[in-house]
Amino acid sequence: MKVDRVIMAQQGAPDVMQFETVELPPPGEGEVQIHQSAIGLNYMDVYQRSGHYPMELPSVLGLEAAGEISAVGAGVANLSVGDRVVYGGVLGAYTSRRNASAARMLRIPNGISDDIAAASMMKGMTVEYLLERTYKVKPGDKVLFFAASGGVGQIAGQWGKHLGAEMIGVTSGPENCRRALDLGYAHAIDRKSEDIAARVKEITGGIGVPVVYDSIGKATFETSIACLATYGMFVSFGATTGEAPAVAPSLLQKAGSLYFTRPTLANYVGPRADLEHSAGRVFDMILGGQVAVNISQRRPLSEVAAAHADLEAGVTTGSTIFLP
Ligand SMILES: NC(=O)c1ccc[n+]([C@@H]2O[C@H](COP(=O)([O-])OP(=O)(O)OC[C@H]3O[C@@H](n4cnc5c(N)ncnc54)[C@H](OP(=O)(O)O)[C@@H]3O)[C@@H](O)[C@H]2O)c1
């Protein structure tokens, strides 16, 4: 069977992504074939395309998608043709149909559409491990979260509120601030017009927050340090403006016996039990109505370059999915 997919021969600007038509073989041992109906766009795709992360080339891009199993390879006992599945973190998602390891597949529960699953799996599991395992958010914690109106940020606001935290979101512009307040954040700081650290000090009575979730990296590193309370934890989980600088132990000492971590989803959902735990929490939060997933951008896969450019320019909100 012939499939179209998005491939890049070199890393760089969005136009390095090209379409190619290839013959898709039957799934190999331990694999399933997925007829994909929705593909998730993640900031990680931008890092992989732009060269921020090294890649073996040529490479098919994309890490997350949902769809129906259309064929099952040898040795796969627990999945059947017709099952609805979603996966996150398996390179090669920008296509209509693909083969992938059955060990990374998650069954989509009834009540969750393929679109929502593809829009929320990686972003939701990221929020799960950040808020529940990296720093365990407790009721009453004041929590600072950057990019509050983005894909991960919208889920984090709602999730954190459900855990009983007072969520403080940083975003850009009055409209995004209003959106953040509608989505669980108790406070919204406009990074374009406000002094973030001063607002955080005001909200926390001069103490600072016990945890900062900073996905912006280079541009916000010093601000995040300034927002932390004594013993606070700096969770640097992204590099939208470039990697955070190297952290000197003496800086952590001087800024108040701080902790610093640079976590990544792949570690937190590596073992199958952790993957099932994390995905199970995401499904429960969606089915229970604690987290609403907003697909603000739905685009044909043919618009992949424009969608990357929009995500990088910071003009999207919520999640983006591609319809193959
Ligand atoms: N470590 C992990 O395991 C992991 C897993 C998933 C995602 N992530 C990270 O999480 C972040 C969010 O991912 P996403 O896919 O949901 O993207 P996103 O938040 O929808 O998009 C990025 C957002 O960053 C904000 N931004 C851009 N430039 C900024 C600047 N100079 N200062 C402050 N904010 C700026 C913009 O939001 P505003 O204009 O509203 O501020 C923009 O919309 C990414 O950095 C990604 O790498 C990490």
Question: pLDDT grade, residue 204 (50/70/90)?
Answer: very high
What pLDDT score does 206 carry?
98
Residues 309 and 286 in one domain: yes
- Report the chain's mean pLDDT, rounded to a whole number: 98
User: Where among 262, 281, 315 does a domain terminate?
Assistant: 262
Residues 147 and 257 in one domain: yes
**Ligand 1 centre and the CA of 110: distance in Å?**
30
pLDDT 10s digits, 281-290: 999 999 999 9
Residues 143 and 202 in one domain: yes
Residues 101 and 156 in one domain: no
Q: 163-167 — which CB contacts under 8 Å span 24+ positions?
A: 163/131, 163/132, 163/137, 163/138, 163/139, 164/137, 164/138, 164/139, 164/140, 165/131, 165/137, 165/138, 165/139, 165/140, 165/141, 166/140, 166/141, 166/142, 167/143
Mean pLDDT of 263-291: 98
- The structure tokens 């952790």 sit at 274
**Ligand 1 centre and the CA of 151: distance in Å?**
8
What pLDDT score does 295 carry?
98
Is the beta carbon of 316 within 6 A of some atom in ligand 1?
yes
The tally of domains found in the chain comes to 2
Residues 249 and 298 in one domain: no
Mean pLDDT of 203-230: 98
Nearest atom of ligand 1 to the alpha carbon of 44: 47
Residues 6+ apart with CB under 8 A from 208: 200, 201, 226, 227, 228, 229, 230, 232, 256
Examine residue 132 and state whether it is found in any structural domain, yes or no.
no
Examine residue 69 and state whether it is found in any structural domain, yes or no.
yes
Q: With a threshold of 0.85, does the pTM exceed it?
A: yes
Please report, for the domain that includes residue 31, its CATH number.
Answer: 3.90.180.10
Is the beta carbon of 320 within 6 A of some atom in ligand 1?
no
Is the beta carbon of 232 within 6 A of some atom in ligand 1?
no
Is the beta carbon of 321 within 6 A of some atom in ligand 1?
no
Determine which residue's CA is closest to atom 8 belonging to ligand 1.
Answer: 238
DSSP letter assigned to residue 26: P
**Ligand 1 centre and the CA of 150: distance in Å?**
6
Question: pLDDT grade, residue 276 (50/70/90)?
Answer: very high
Residues 45 and 103 in one domain: yes
Examine residue 129 and state whether it is found in any structural domain, yes or no.
no
What pLDDT score does 215 carry?
98
Determine which residue's CA is closest to atom 33 belonging to ligand 1.
Answer: 216
Mean pLDDT of 233-259: 98
Residues 214 and 163 in one domain: yes
Alpha-carbon torsion angle 71, 72, 73, 79, nearest 10: 160
pLDDT 10s digits, 67-92: 999 999 999 999 999 999 999 999 99
What pLDDT score does 65 carry?
98
Examine residue 46 and state whether it is found in any structural domain, yes or no.
yes
The Cα angle at residue 65 between residues 86 and 274, in degrees rounded to 5 = 45
Residues 209 and 257 in one domain: yes
Is the beta carbon of 126 within 6 A of some atom in ligand 1?
yes
Please report, for the domain that includes residue 181, its CATH number.
Answer: 3.40.50.720
Range of the domain at 145: 139-262
Determine which residue's CA is closest to atom 18 belonging to ligand 1.
Answer: 150
Examine residue 130 and state whether it is found in any structural domain, yes or no.
no
**Residue 11: Cβ-neighbour burial (10 angstroms; 0-12, 13-18, 19+):** middle
Q: Are 156 and 148 in contact (CB under 8 A)?
A: yes
Residues 242 and 295 in one domain: no
**Ligand 1 centre and the CA of 111: distance in Å?**
28
Question: pLDDT grade, residue 118 (50/70/90)?
Answer: very high
Is the beta carbon of 262 within 6 A of some atom in ligand 1?
no
**Ligand 1 centre and the CA of 137: distance in Å?**
20
User: Where among 262, 291, 310 does a domain terminate?
Assistant: 262
User: Where among 262, 288, 308 does a domain terminate?
Assistant: 262
Is the beta carbon of 69 within 6 A of some atom in ligand 1?
no
**Percent of the chain scoring above 70 in pLDDT:** 100
Residues 105 and 11 in one domain: yes
Residues 11 and 103 in one domain: yes
Mean pLDDT of 181-191: 97
